[in-house]
Amino acid sequence: MTEEFEINFQQHSIITQATKQIPGFKNILEQLKKHMINNGTSSSTFKNYLRHIAAISMHFNKRPDTITQFEIDEYLYYLKQKNKTPSLSYFKFTVYGLSYMFRALKLKRKHSKLPSIKHTNRLPVVLSIKEVMQLLNVRMMEKHRLLISLLYECGMRCKEVRLLEVRDIDFDRMTIHIRHGKGNRERIVPMGKSLSHQLKKYIEKQSNPKWVFNTRGSQKIDLDSGGDFDRRYSQKGVQWAVQQAVKRAGIHKRVSVHTLRHTYATHLLESGVNIVQIQKWLGHVNIQATLIYLHVSDYGKYEKLSLLDHLYEKRGLNTQGSD
């Protein structure tokens, strides 16, 4: 676990600059690292928060825990004015990063004065079955097809598929043990015959692999590239494989790696799987996170529930309206 939080600084990263230029920044970093490991926070969250903490620290050229309330307000105002859409995301994670730091360092007075972030309930983008078929049928490397198949068939997150080990696959029970879920929660998900066949065929070609995708190198966070491992299967590597397939398939929706997880949940729901079971397979702690898929399930099958259509049919009228 602690290996995932080891930092592989790159020469020009914002965190490297803060560590070199701001006295005491490295000590703050180590305190946050211990706190996050003890509380089961993911390494990706640690990386994200640390970037934003380093950015505000560099902006004022001082240790982040000594930044005043006035300076925080000024910096957040600057982020809001800088760029409308991108800065909103940057603004949000700056607030989250500062909030976590103040709580970890027991600076409750500063924490209480941070602005609250309003959550927008955007509906997830979901692919149709036809689009999933298009995606899997484009020309691509075998390992990329398997990667996309796992994301869709098992609803895996990006990190989960990258950390999947051969020992986690039970071909007899037709299940996959996901050990590195959000908040380090584990779960077991089923897999079908076609995925089982693909995995067996792929693994047999490898030379005694530990990881399904033969990841090599030390488990260190690369704070600039976004990957925990070598660049072939870094987070950006997985994103690239999915984006290339989407482009070749001619799909124009805004598709990300997580879109396949949304699609997995929605298609299960449309197939009649109980929402509570879907919650377990997704690894959601709260059922509310799973209920969002009720809003994006296929409304086409409920056409007969149209009140006007039902009324017109009862009266024998043309549903297209009269000329």
pLDDT tens for each residue of 64-121: 999 999 999 999 988 888 765 555 678 888 999 999 899 888 887 666 678 877 766 6
User: What pLDDT was estimated at residue 303?
Assistant: 47
Report how far residue 119's alpha carbon sits from residue 200's, in angstroms, rounded to the nearest whole number. Answer: 42
User: Is the pLDDT confidence value at 226 over 80?
Assistant: no
pLDDT tens for each residue of 115-138: 877 766 678 999 999 999 999 999
Helices (H) and strands (E) in the chain, counts: 15, 3
Closest by CA position to 182, among listed 150, 212, 157: 157
Q: Are 49 and 93 in contact (CB under 8 A)?
A: yes
Catalytic (active site) residue 145: no
Catalytic (active site) residue 293: yes
User: What pLDDT was estimated at residue 231?
Assistant: 37
From 261, 262, 264, 267, the catalytic residue: 261
For the beta carbon of residue 322, count every other beta carbon within 10 angstroms: 5
Q: How confident is the model at residue 257 (pLDDT cuts 50, 70, 90)?
A: very high
From 92, 182, 236, 248, the catalytic residue: 182
User: What pLDDT was estimated at residue 82?
Assistant: 76
From 145, 157, 180, 267, the catalytic residue: 157
Q: Which of 29-43, 71-85, 222-236 has the lowest mean pLDDT?
A: 222-236
One-letter amino acid at 177 equals: H
Report how far residue 199's alpha carbon sits from residue 160's, in angstroms, rounded to the nearest whole number. Answer: 16
Q: Which residue has the tokens 């124009």?
A: 252
Q: What is the pTM of this model?
A: 0.69
Helix, coil or strand: residue 252: coil
Write down the architecture of domain 129-298 according to CATH. Answer: Orthogonal Bundle (1.10)
Catalytic (active site) residue 180: no
Catalytic (active site) residue 310: no
